Structure 1
Amino acid sequence: MLSIDSKIAEDTAISNYITPYRQQLEAKMNEVIGTSKENMIQNRNLPETLLGNFFTDAMVNIGRNIDPQVDFSMATKDGIRSSIKAGDITVGTIFEFMPFENLLVILELKGSDVLRLAEFIAESNGQPISNAQIVIKGKKLMDFKIAGNTIDPNKTYKLITYDFVANGGDHVRGLDKPVKSVTTKQLVREGLIEYIQGLTKAGKQVESKLDGRVKIIE
């Protein structure tokens, strides 16, 4: 066993070799792509958060640029890895938020499987969703709607999420038998960066709000 600590002298040849690459990487990570109006804090315990709403709203927007028929989006609280603070948002901010090489996936689901997914969301005390509304009581599903409409078990609905979730990550249920599955070439992280840059070009800030899309009742 070799102890690696500050007692070991730096190899200047290696340091000099990697310095230009480090400087390029730091310059890219520090590039400002937008601004956030407020702190959006990561919190795995709350059923609905500003951060989760921002993320899933962004996914719907990105997804509809790929397929205009995307109905709703869903992520998991554990999949969000860091907060977004008020002020400048950099490329590095989004790398910290979504550090994985996840690709966006569009799943066409039977209404009956959408309800299975809703039951999972209820049992886990809420997960980030967009263009959908869920009512939960005692971790049981009371109601689930997409765009204000009750789910028809015989219809199909298009969900945008990312490949980790689509493949059953975080124990998500209801996504294992899609009518159709399309894995896009769009990395989640790159999609978010482009989405924020688009807001900035339009003179808008990144913002979110709590709107009761995940409701827990006694």
Structure 2
Amino acid sequence: MVLKIKHFVVFVTFSFLYSCGEQQPNLQNIDAKQIIIDSSLATTESIEILVKPYRERIDQVLDSTLAYAPYPISKTDGELNTTAGNLMADIVLSEANPIFKSRTGHTIDLVLLNHGGIRSLISKGNVSSRTAYEVMPFENSIVVAELKGSSILKLASYLRDSGRPHPIAGLQLILDSENEIQSISIQGKPLQEDKIYYVATSNYLVNGGDSMVFFEDALNTTNTDYLIRNAMIDYFKKTDTLKPVVDNRFIKLD
């Protein structure tokens, strides 16, 4: 009797597995529709009640005053360098340098960011964490690339030919009246083609973004794991008044 029951169980099990193997579901149809998210959508009161304290706390943190801008800081107020670009590059240099030095023993020589990465001006008035999110909404981190002086020459040529005031710091580039490079200085010293320089940039640019292909020459790269936006917020917290100016870090002689 026990043997018959075992046979029956085995028979039922194989029958079930066979039937499952034979069932091949076929996709019959795909339906889709576009739902426009705008003011016409009704709010759900229960969700609003749930979200409200979190929204209020986030707004409080983002809108707390960290610094003050006595005038608008823009990426369009200069031909070859701008107040916004100079501020951004100077922030990366000052805030990322201690991190890079503690990890490698080296210091950052210069900074290069991209003009298009600055997404908003800093209006006159109070500056907050929300300001940093508006200026730099991307999750770009600061990466330091080791470049020989010969690659810095390519970098300088790129700046000359780009037609845009890309943010730089630690570097002075002077063009003559014919748009030829007259001089390149790094940390106040003339460029040496056989020297290694440590260039802080973003993870986007170090991978060739904005056609900055000279970063392919990097002998090594170090990701600081430090977001540019967070560097801005840290800088704002310890700076009472933001006063960047258009200066002589990149100029063309008459």
Task: Give yes or no for TM over 0.5.
Answer: yes
For structure 2, which runs of at least 5 residues remain unmatched after alignment?
1-32
Other-structure match for 1:215: 251
Q: Quick check: 1:112 aligned with 2:150?
A: yes
In structure 2, the CA distance between the partners of 1:7 and 1:211, relative to structure 1 (3 Å rule), is closer
TM-score after normalising by structure 2: 0.77
Deviation at 1:63? 2.5
- Using the alignment, how far apart are the partners of 2:138 and 2:35 within structure 1? 30
Percent of residue pairs bearing the same amino acid type: 26
* 1:114 aligned counterpart, secondary structure: helix
Other-structure match for 2:162: 124
For structure 1, which runs of at least 5 residues remain unmatched after alignment?
none
Deviation at 1:155? 0.5
Deviation at 1:164? 1.0
* 2:238 aligned counterpart, secondary structure: helix
TM-score after normalising by structure 1: 0.89
Q: Is the 8 A contact 2:96 2:224 kept in 1?
A: no
- Using the alignment, how far apart are the partners of 1:80 and 1:2 within structure 2? 32
Among 56, 61, 66, which residue is 1:33 paired with?
A: 66
Aligned residue identity for 1:39: P
- Using the alignment, how far apart are the partners of 1:7 and 1:103 within structure 2? 38
In structure 2, the CA distance between the partners of 1:39 and 1:206, relative to structure 1 (3 Å rule), is same
Aligned residue identity for 1:171: S
Among 33, 43, 62, which residue is 1:10 paired with?
A: 43
Other-structure match for 2:234: 194
Question: Which one has a larger percent helix, Structure 1 or Structure 2?
Answer: 2
Aligned residue identity for 2:67: G
Among 128, 144, 160, which residue is 2:184 paired with?
A: 144
- Using the alignment, how far apart are the partners of 1:70 and 1:6 within structure 2? 48
Q: Quick check: 1:165 aligned with 2:205?
A: yes
Q: Is the 8 A contact 1:82 1:97 kept in 2?
A: yes
Other-structure match for 2:110: 72
Question: Which of the pair has more CA radius of gyration?
Answer: 2
Q: Quick check: 1:90 aligned with 2:123?
A: no
Deviation at 1:140? 4.8
- Using the alignment, how far apart are the partners of 1:79 and 1:170 within structure 2? 10
* 1:33 aligned counterpart, secondary structure: strand
Aligned residue identity for 1:123: D
Aligned residue identity for 1:75: L
Q: Is the 8 A contact 1:51 1:83 kept in 2?
A: yes
- Using the alignment, how far apart are the partners of 1:105 and 1:189 within structure 2? 14
Deviation at 1:91? 0.6
Q: Give CA deviations for 1:185-213 in whole Å, capped at 9, x if unaligned.
A: 2111111111121224xxxx221122211
Q: Give CA deviations for 1:152-192 in whole Å, capped at 9, x if unaligned.
A: 11111111111111111111131112122100121111111
Deviation at 1:52? 0.8
Q: Give the superposed CA RMSD.
A: 2.0
Other-structure match for 2:221: 181
- Using the alignment, how far apart are the partners of 2:189 and 2:149 within structure 1? 12
Deviation at 1:46? 2.7
Aligned residue identity for 1:212: N
In structure 2, the CA distance between the partners of 1:62 and 1:6, relative to structure 1 (3 Å rule), is closer
In structure 2, the CA distance between the partners of 1:215 and 1:3, relative to structure 1 (3 Å rule), is same
Q: How many residues align?
A: 214
